[in-house]
């Protein structure tokens, strides 16, 4: 009976938002690698969003910008728009958007003829195709992001896209570890199962979201991304099946909140 009660409570928490103030934990941040990847995911999403707006303002032919791929350089984010050639040995870049002083500012240049890349963008484009060939999601839009992984491999994330203003989807997401040439899946990590979409409540200002983890014991990269993506960012409390609690603050740092009493 106690196990059934706990399961019911956790299921309820998986779709609710807290409205009572929670103070910052006194413990030290944990899981810095998850925080870092989550922050990069957020930056990737912002770069892709605003670079796409900048490119679309030029009214490009649809066939020339079939896929966008973002890459962070020392000078900021660069987003390449193009497609694989028929031989699949080059990524043909038709437009390139370079970040300005913020992630909302991008300068676009048209490459005519398109420039063939045989390095990161080629591998990333092939890795995206490899991941999407395997991915099985719901009948809804998804976003894809590619980040560098150890040993020159690539992380490919497939995340549910936001479709309604003020509603930020969480869950139903996968992280793939792909070979350096983009052709093989080394690891598939289902970060969350069900997709949660909590609508805002009228005349109520939330201070912290809450959801439960059933697939892993610790926060995922996309949990950090979820916190940072909200406008304004909203902390998130995560509870696993062991009743362990983790809090992600609005800058993406993660704290161990201890066990539920």
77 contacts 50 by C-beta, under 8 angstroms: no
Domain boundary assignment for the chain: 1-30+201-261, 44-117, 119-199
Tell me the two tokens of residue 142. Answer: 């998804």
The SS3 of residue 235 is coil
Q: How far is CA 211 from CA 35, 129, 169, 192, 257, in A?
A: 18, 31, 12, 11, 14
- State if pTM tops 0.75: yes
198 contacts 167 by C-beta, under 8 angstroms: yes
Tell me the two tokens of residue 137. Answer: 């999601």
Tell me the two tokens of residue 113. Answer: 């003829």
Per-residue confidence of the chain (261 residues) as pLDDT tens digits? 334 333 433 433 444 444 333 445 567 999 999 999 999 999 999 999 999 999 999 999 888 889 999 999 999 999 999 999 999 999 999 999 999 999 999 999 999 999 999 999 999 999 999 999 999 999 999 999 999 999 999 999 999 999 999 999 999 999 999 999 999 999 999 999 999 998 888 887 888 999 999 999 999 999 999 999 999 999 999 999 999 999 999 999 999 999 987
């Amino acid at each position: 009976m106690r196990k059934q009660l706990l399961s019911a409570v956790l299921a309820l928490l998986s779709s609710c938002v807290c409205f009572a103030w929670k103070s910052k934990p006194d413990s030290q941040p944990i899981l810095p690698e998850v925080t870092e990847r989550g922050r990069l995911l957020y930056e990737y999403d912002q770069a892709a969003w605003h670079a796409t707006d900048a490119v679309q303002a030029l009214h490009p032919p649809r066939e020339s910008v079939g896929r966008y791929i973002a890459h962070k350089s020392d000078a900021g984010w660069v987003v390449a728009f193009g497609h694989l050639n028929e031989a699949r040995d080059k990524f043909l870049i038709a437009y390139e958007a370079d970040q300005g002083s913020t992630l909302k500012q991008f300068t676009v240049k048209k490459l005519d003829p398109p420039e063939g890349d045989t390095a990161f963008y080629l591998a990333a484009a092939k890795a995206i195709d490899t991941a999407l060939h395997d991915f099985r999601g719901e009948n809804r839009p998804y976003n894809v992001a590619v980040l560098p992984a150890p040993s020159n491999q690539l992380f490919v994330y497939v995340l549910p896209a936001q479709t309604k203003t003020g509603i930020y989807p969480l869950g139903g997401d996968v992280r793939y570890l792909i070979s350096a040439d983009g052709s093989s899946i080394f690891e598939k990590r289902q970060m969350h199962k069900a997709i949660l979409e909590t609508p805002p409540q009228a005349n109520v200002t939330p201070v912290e979201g809450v959801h439960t983890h059933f697939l892993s014991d610790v926060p995922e990269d996309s949990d950090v991304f979820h916190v940072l993506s909200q406008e304004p960012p909203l902390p998130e409390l995560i509870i696993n099946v062991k009743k362990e609690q983790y809090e992600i603050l609005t800058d993406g740092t993660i704290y161990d909140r201890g066990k539920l009493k």
